[in-house]
Amino acid sequence: MEDTKQTNEIISMPRIGERAPSFKAVTTQGEINFPEQYEGSWVILFSHPADFTPVCTSEFMTFASMETKFNEANCKLVGLSVDGLYSHIAWLRTIKEKIEYKGMKDVEVKFPLIEDITMEVAKKYGMIQPGESNTKAVRAVFFIDPKGIIRTIIYYPLSLGRNFDELYRALIALQVADKFSVALPADWRPGDDVIVPTAGSCGVAKERMENKEDIHCYDWFFCTKKISEDEINNGIKK
């Protein structure tokens, strides 16, 4: 851990269910007006500690290689670090021109990367966590829905790269929960059974336990049903 000196500054931490804080910013793809210009799409806003560092490079190559898959699920990606625009441009050029990693090469990062030298955005989103670092953003991930509401937040420390398959799984799970009014059990993946809302009356509880067809109940409060991968693909993909 580095930069461990604690400050007394009050840091805002957006929470799940709240509107994503608004900001305008300069990025590697021009200026953005966040989250307003993303209305109608899911967006993953994520931070990384610093350009030209190894874990971040491995993350950017992985995320950029999966960008089409996220876009096909109606999700845009937006990155941020407290570096400046020219550092971002130089780093992304280096990634494309020089780095070959785990079969990935010639990787072009097409999603916007926000410059935030003033830390204005990083502080708004609770990405600066002084116990970890006063000068670098932690690896934060905000899933924001098409109405601009924060739906999931994940934080990782500086030393640990994220699992981008998990980010994709979480995105699809959030979309399935919304579209089919269900919840998703531990380790759920598309094609696995989903959880139907818990019975809200004795009558429904009894009915559920007697229904032997499309719903399987482990007990009256824990019932699942099938949603096929086809239904999911038809229901949520663009």
Q: Is 92 in the site for ligand BEZ (CB under 6 A)?
A: no
| Chain CA centroid to CA 174, Å | 10
Q: Which stretch binds ligand BEZ (CB under 6 A): 35-43, 48-56, 111-119, 144-152?
A: 48-56
Scanning residues 151 to 210, which ones bind ligand BEZ (CB under 6 A)?
158-159
Q: Say how many C-beta atoms besides its own lie within 10 A of residue 89's C-beta.
A: 14
Nearest distance from C-beta of residue 97 to ligand BEZ, angstroms: 19
Q: Say how many C-beta atoms besides its own lie within 10 A of residue 151's C-beta.
A: 19
Of residues 90, 107, 98, 88, the one with CA closest to residue 25: 88
Q: Which stretch binds ligand BEZ (CB under 6 A): 25-33, 52-60, 89-97, 175-183?
A: 52-60
Scanning residues 53 to 72, which ones bind ligand BEZ (CB under 6 A)?
53-56
Could you give the 3-state DSSP secondary structure of residue 20?
Answer: coil
Q: Which stretch binds ligand BEZ (CB under 6 A): 8-16, 47-55, 103-111, 174-182?
A: 47-55
Judged by CB under 6 A, how many residues of this single chain contact ligand BEZ? 9
Smaller CB separation from ligand BEZ, 29 or 159? 159
Residues 6+ apart with CB under 8 A from 165: none
140 vs 71: CA distance, rounded Å: 20
Q: Is 49 in the site for ligand BEZ (CB under 6 A)?
A: yes
Nearest distance from C-beta of residue 81 to ligand BEZ, angstroms: 9
Complete DSSP assignment for 34-69: ETGGGTTSEEEEEE-S-SS-HHHHHHHHHHHHTHHH
Q: Which two tokens stand for residue 199?
A: 């019975």
Smaller CB separation from ligand BEZ, 27 or 47? 47
Q: Which two tokens stand for residue 70?
A: 């996220």
Q: Is 80 in the site for ligand BEZ (CB under 6 A)?
A: no
Active site residue 217: no
Smaller CB separation from ligand BEZ, 35 or 49? 49
Q: Is 107 in the site for ligand BEZ (CB under 6 A)?
A: no
Active-site residues, by number, are 56
